[in-house]
Amino acid sequence: MTLGVQLPSRAIGAPLDRIDGPLKVTGAARYAYEYPVAGVTYVFPIQSTIAKGRVVSTDARAARALPGVVAVLSHENAPRLRPVDIPVIGQRDQDLAVFQSDVVTYRGQVVAAVVAESLEVARQAASLVTVRYEEQPHDVELRADRGDLYAPETLVMGIETDTTQGDIAAALAAAPVSTDRTYTTPAEHNNPLEPHATVAVWDDGQSVTLYDANQGADWIRAEVAEAFGLTPEHVRVIAPYVGGGFGSKAFAHSHVILAVMAALVAGRPAKLALTRQQMFALTGYRSPTIQRIRLGAERDGRLTAIAHDVVAQTTTRFEFAEQAAVPTRMMYAAPNRRTTHRLARLDVPENTWMRGPGECPGMFALESAMDELAVACGLDPIDLRIRNEPSVDPETGHPFSSRGLVACLREGAERFGWQPRDPRPGMRADGRWLIGTGVAASTFPVLQQPAAARVGVDQGGRYRVRIAASDIGTGAWTALTQIAADALAVPPERVHLEIGDSALPQAGGAGGSSGTSSWGWAIVDAAQKLRARLRDEFGGVVPAEGLEATGAFETNPEAQRYSMHAFGAQFAAVRVNQDTGEVRVPRLLGVFAAGRIINAKTARSQLLGGRTMGLSMALHEASVLDPRFGDFVNHDFAEYHIATNADVGAVDVAWIDEDDPHVNPMGAKGIGEIGIVGTAAAIASAVYHATGVRVRDLPITLDKLLR
């Protein structure tokens, strides 16, 4: 497949209803835990009550005496596993070495588990297991002044840890206008609606089938195969419908390995669904960040220096380096530049990807700092951004494949009614409510990963498209059908898609907003090969046995020549109560430039969802770590607050159609994550405009405004 010739747009772009919609609302779409399997057992994990130390003994006599208990597993009797390296992130995850040693490195770690005839018995028996520990002092507090912060070899996915150009200190010292501020974001938990769940069925001790809630059947398959010393062909992972993930279901966590192990030991299928509370220790979260941003500028707002220094956390068993300063490398032009990332290795649960990892916390800091610079320069914040628009990627010198930031800012300003705006804070009120508006830029890179697809046709003109893609609620079922339809030049009704099964042609998971871009390319390639075969070998007539072709996407050669990113502009209007400090967000507008939009309806949903999550980040979400015990104390929806319908006012989404021939044959950039990026900065800037209080520490809670 060569680039340059774009797919025609027939099905693409249409607001097609979700193919999986009727199945979901009627309950016919089956989720992992719902698969009926004969002779199933239930697994309940037992979690460590210390943050650091080792397990001295596991007394399971009372548990084993309970009728219905099949097995109690711990490091004392567990089968041996092999170490597992996580693909894409490129790090070994020792949390997948379930029960391979007596070492405890975080509170909530799985140290034992009960396998029983029913969930109730498993849970009851788990409460009867006595685990004794030898406790060691733990270290769980992230601070920027720690003496042991270190620079990781690379950030996740092999991204460079630090970058520097020019002389940042001299440029800052010489700048007529400068700002130097520190922004902090808390730990946040992904919390998909469907909890993490795995059903494991061993066929014969040689091969295993998993019904598992995940973001990529092939990724989970690779990790399970590695842990149990199987070839990937002996592991099958099935996940056609998944109730959200946001990064927490991208890779296997310990519960997946535990379910497979339990089924092996029991000699029967095993089911494991984590409770919401267990998820807070076991399935990842967004690292808290401490970000110092220094900007230097001429009086007219032109940046001369940008420095973004990030401190985040990781753990002793898995290094995950949140790449929060990465967007700063290409957002704005400035001759002197510096980005750094430092990590504290703590005795805490493992952090991982959460929607818009890197860009999401990083752009809160950068875009808040840009708003502060606009105030310092006496410039409109949109104008400031336009003045610093780079002509090429400032980091690489490559041209942008397309860059719609200015167009989004202008279109958004128009739609939002940005002007006239008195920039002075605290000038507008409605009764006891102060009113303000804010704006921030948004961005997310175009990421792609290899994928293969197979397309077949029968004599009835029905097309079958198979690929191990994943739909976690994003609309992939529908968008991929539309791409296939246009690539085959048939209506979408003639296309039958199969995804969510590792037995299908290999494809990476739903992560990094890369799915549509990568899977779509493989499907287009397969469709074109099928059409060519049909034309060249069969004169356009489908043979009796039908015809198939396999296609693939390996790498995008244009990625070496172009800088590829989606952009957006986030606008917010807020009301802040002068007496209580309550913040309301009556209006949000986001305008995005993300290439060609494949499905206007599901895209709108993605962007609305992302931005609602951004509002949630701005006002509510914070996982509170208790330093005495080392775990997250607000570990359920009673105390970990997420935005509900009542929190969301009028949320409007628009996009600018971009013609980008470099990203892929569809011309589509990812849209899963960009919606969340920048939303919190727009809201924080609107709160400043309303009140004159600059909140640099998320979330924006009442106490920070009443001080």
Segment interacting with ligand MOS (CB under 6 A) among 194-202, 299-307, 354-362, 627-635: 354-362
467: left (phi > 0), else alpha (psi -120 to 50), else beta?
A: beta
285 binds ligand MOS (CB under 6 A): no
The least CB distance from residue 248 to ligand MOS, in Å, is: 8
Q: How many CB atoms lie within 10 A of CB 535?
A: 10
Q: Determine, following the binding rule CB under 6 A, whether residue 247 of this chain makes contact with ligand MOS.
A: yes
246 binds ligand MOS (CB under 6 A): yes
Nearest-approach distance from CB 511 to ligand MOS, in angstroms: 4
Per-residue CA distances from 248 to 55, 194, 351, 511 (Å): 27, 11, 9, 10
Cβ closest to ligand MOS, residue 305 vs residue 312: 312
Q: Shortest CA distance to 677 belongs to which of 585, 614, 591, 608?
A: 614
Q: How far is the CB of 122 from ligand MOS (least distance, A)?
A: 30
Pairing of strands 433-445, 197-202: unpaired
What dihedral angle (degrees, nearest 10) is formed by the CA atoms of 674, 678, 683, 686?
Answer: -130
Burial (CB < 10 A; 0-12, 13-18, 19+), residue 390, is middle
Size of the residue set binding ligand MOS (CB under 6 A)? 12
Q: Which stretch binds ligand MOS (CB under 6 A): 20-28, 243-251, 296-304, 438-446?
A: 243-251
The answer to whether residue 250 forms part of the interface with ligand MOS (CB under 6 A) is yes
CA angle 648, 654, 655 (to 5 degrees): 140
515: contact with ligand MOS by CB under 6 A: no
Active site residue 554: no
Least separation in angstroms between residue 513's CB and ligand MOS is 7
- Near ligand MOS by CB under 6 A, which window of 36-44, 245-253, 552-560, 681-689? 245-253
x-or-dash pattern for ligand MOS, window 626-665, by CB under 6 A? ----------------------------------------
126, 354, 379, 674: residue in contact with ligand MOS (rule CB under 6 A): 354
Q: Name the one range near ligand MOS by CB under 6 A: 110-118, 253-261, 349-357, 627-635.
A: 349-357
Q: Closest distance between ligand MOS and the C-beta of residue 279, in Å?
A: 15
Q: Is 512 a binder of ligand MOS (CB under 6 A)?
A: yes
Using the rule CB under 6 A, is 244 a contact of ligand MOS?
Answer: no
- Asked whether the beta carbons of 667 and 401 are under 8 A apart, the reply is no
- Minimum CB distance to ligand MOS, residue 674 (Å): 11
Min separation Cβ 286 and ligand MOS, Å? 9
- The residue among 510 and 574 lying less far from ligand MOS, judged by its C-beta, is 510
Q: In this complex, which beta carbon is closest to ligand MOS, that of residue 32 or of residue 250?
A: 250
CB of 660 to ligand MOS, least distance (A): 21
Residue 519 within binding range of ligand MOS, rule CB under 6 A: no
The beta strand positions in 239-322, using DSSP E, are 270-273, 289-297, 303-315
Query: Which of residues 353, 400, 592, 655 is near ligand MOS by CB under 6 A?
Result: 353
Of 246 and 332, the one with the shorter C-beta distance to ligand MOS is 246
Q: Is 326 in the site for ligand MOS (CB under 6 A)?
A: no
Residue 101 CB, nearest approach to ligand MOS (Å): 30
Q: Token pair of 193, please?
A: 């609606």
Choose between 510 and 527: whose C-beta lies nearer to ligand MOS: 510
Minimum separation from the CB atom of position 414 to ligand MOS (A): 31
Token pair, residue 180, equals 């130097």
According to DSSP, the residues that pair with 451 across neighbouring strands are 507, 553
Q: Closer to ligand MOS at the Cβ: 187 or 526? A: 187
Of 356 and 590, which has the nearer Cβ to ligand MOS? 356
Q: What is the 3-state secondary structure (H, E, C) of 190-250?
A: CCCCCCCEEEEEECCCCCEEEEECCCCHHHHHHHHHHHHCCCHHHEEEECCCCCCCCCCCC
Which C-beta is closer to ligand MOS: that of 251 or that of 463?
251
Q: Using the rule CB under 6 A, is 357 a contact of ligand MOS?
A: yes
Complex with ligand MOS: residue 211 or 246, whichever CB lies closer:
246
User: Is residue 614 near ligand MOS by the rule CB under 6 A?
Assistant: no
Contact string (CB under 6 A) for ligand MOS, positions 209-228, x = contact = ------x-------------
Retrieve residue 260's tokens: 């497979």
Cβ contact 103:41 at 8 Å: no
For ligand MOS, the closer of residues 247 and 456 by Cβ is 247
Binding residue (CB under 6 A) for ligand MOS from 192, 245, 436, 473? 245
Residue-level length of the chain: 707
Residue 364 CB, shortest distance to ligand MOS, in Å, is 16
Nearest approach in angstroms of CB 376 to ligand MOS is 33
Q: What is 71-132 written as a DSSP string?
A: EEEETTTPPP----EETTTTEE-GGGSTTSSSEE-STT-EEEEEEESSHHHHHHHHHH-EEE
Nearest one of 264, 208, 269, 270 to 238, comparing CA atoms: 208
String of DSSP letters for 323-341: -TTGGGGTSS--SEEEEEE
DSSP letters, 381-442, are HHHHHHHT--SS-TTT-PPBS---HHHHHHHHHHHHT--S---STT--EETTEEEEEEEEEE
DSSP state of 697: B
Bond before 699 cis per omega within 30 degrees: yes
Of 322, 372, 411, 673, catalytic: 673
Residue closer to ligand MOS, measured from CB, 246 or 571: 246
Choices 26-34, 105-113, 348-356, 674-682; region in contact with ligand MOS by CB under 6 A: 348-356
464 residue type, one letter: R
Residues 400 and 403: their CA atoms lie apart, in Å, by 6
Please provide residue 237's backbone torsions phi and psi, each rounded to the nearest 5 degrees.
-120, 125
Would you say 322 or 367 has its CB closer to ligand MOS?
Answer: 322
User: How far from 521 is each of 467, 504, 552, CA to CA, in Å?
Assistant: 11, 16, 7
- Annotate each residue in 55-84 with x if it binds ligand MOS (CB under 6 A) or - if it does not, as one string: ------------------------------
For the segment 549-608, give every residue that binds ligand MOS (CB under 6 A).
Answer: none
- Residue 34 DSSP SS3: helix
Residue numbers of the site for ligand MOS (CB under 6 A)?
Answer: 215, 245-247, 250, 353-355, 357, 511-512, 673
Which sequence positions are flagged as catalytic? 673
